[in-house]
Amino acid sequence: MGSSSSSYAPQTIYLDVDGKVQKVVFSRHCSPCDIKELLCSSSNIPRNTAIMVVDPEGALVSIDPTMPTNSPNSLYKVIPVSTGQLGDKEDIFQNVLSQVAEQFSRAFRINELKTEVTNRLAMLEKRVELEGLKVVEIEKCKNDLKKLRDEMTSRGGGRVNCPCKYNFSDDGKKVTPRRDVPNYPKYTLSQETVEALKKPTFDVWHWEHNEMLSCLEYMYHDLGLVKEFNMNPITLKRWLLAIQENYRNNPFHNFRHCFCVSQMMYGMIHLCNLQEKLTLTDMGILMTAAVCHDLDHPGYNNTYQINARTELAVRYNDISPLENHHCAVAFQILSLPECNIFANVDLEAFKQIRQGIITLILATDMARHGEILDSFKQKVDNFDFTNEEHVTCLKMVLIKCCDISNEVRPTEVAEPWVDCLLEEYFMQSDREKSEGLPVAPFMDRDKVTKPTAQIGFIKFVLIPMFETVMKLFPQIEEIMVQPLRDSRDHYEELKQIDDAMTE
> CB-hemisphere CA count at 13 Å for 494?
14
State the pLDDT at residue 2.
45
| 373 contacts 468 by C-beta, under 8 angstroms | yes
Least confident of 5-9, 32-36, 58-62, 242-246: 5-9
Stated as kind and residue range, the H or E segment containing 80 is strand 77-80
* Rounded average pLDDT over 102-110: 60
State the pLDDT at residue 156.
45
* Rounded average pLDDT over 100-106: 62
Any residues with CB less than 8 A from the CB of 38 and at least 6 apart, and which?
24, 26, 30
Under the banding of pLDDT at 50, 70 and 90, the label for residue 158 is very low
State the pLDDT at residue 440.
94
Question: What is the rounded (10 degree) CA torsion for 194, 196, 202, 204?
Answer: -20
CA distances from 379 to 367, 372, 385, 387, 471 (A): 21, 11, 11, 10, 11
| DSSP calls for 302-344 | HHHHHHTT-HHHHHTTTSSHHHHHHHHHHHHHHTSGGG-TTTT
State the pLDDT at residue 101.
62
Q: Is 320 helix (H, G, I), strand (E, B) or coil?
A: coil
* Number of other CB atoms surrounding residue 206 within 10 Å: 9
Phi, psi for residue 11 in degrees, rounded to 5: -100, 135
The listed range with the strongest mean pLDDT (40-44, 142-146, 435-439) is 435-439
Q: Is 256 annotated as a binding residue?
A: yes
pTM of the model: 0.67
Q: Is 490 annotated as a binding residue?
A: no
State the pLDDT at residue 338.
94
**Average pLDDT, rounded, for the chain:** 86
pLDDT for 111-126, tens place per residue? 666 677 677 766 766 6
Bigger pLDDT: 452 vs 118 = 452
Q: Is 282 annotated as a binding residue?
A: no
Q: Which residues are catalytic?
A: 253
Q: Where would I find the H helices in 272-320?
A: 280-292, 302-307, 311-315
Q: Where would I find the H helices in 53-169?
A: 83-86, 89-108, 110-131, 135-154
- Report the C-alpha gap between 432 and 323 in whole angstroms: 21
Under the banding of pLDDT at 50, 70 and 90, the label for residue 10 is confident
In which order are the strands placed within the sheet that holds 51-54?
A: 60-61, 51-54, 77-80
* Rounded average pLDDT over 43-69: 85
| DSSP calls for 101-113 | HHHHHHHHTHHHH
* Number of other CB atoms surrounding residue 451 within 10 Å: 19
| 312 contacts 164 by C-beta, under 8 angstroms | yes
- Report the C-alpha gap between 313 and 332 in whole angstroms: 19
Quick check: 348 pLDDT over 50?
Answer: yes
Least confident of 54-68, 292-306, 309-323: 54-68
Q: Is 369 annotated as a binding residue?
A: no
Quick check: 262 pLDDT over 80?
Answer: yes
Q: Is 403 annotated as a binding residue?
A: yes
Q: What angle do CA 345, 349, 351 make, to 5 degrees?
A: 110
* Rounded average pLDDT over 199-209: 95
pLDDT for 397-421, tens place per residue? 999 999 999 999 999 999 999 999 9
Q: Is 254 annotated as a binding residue?
A: yes
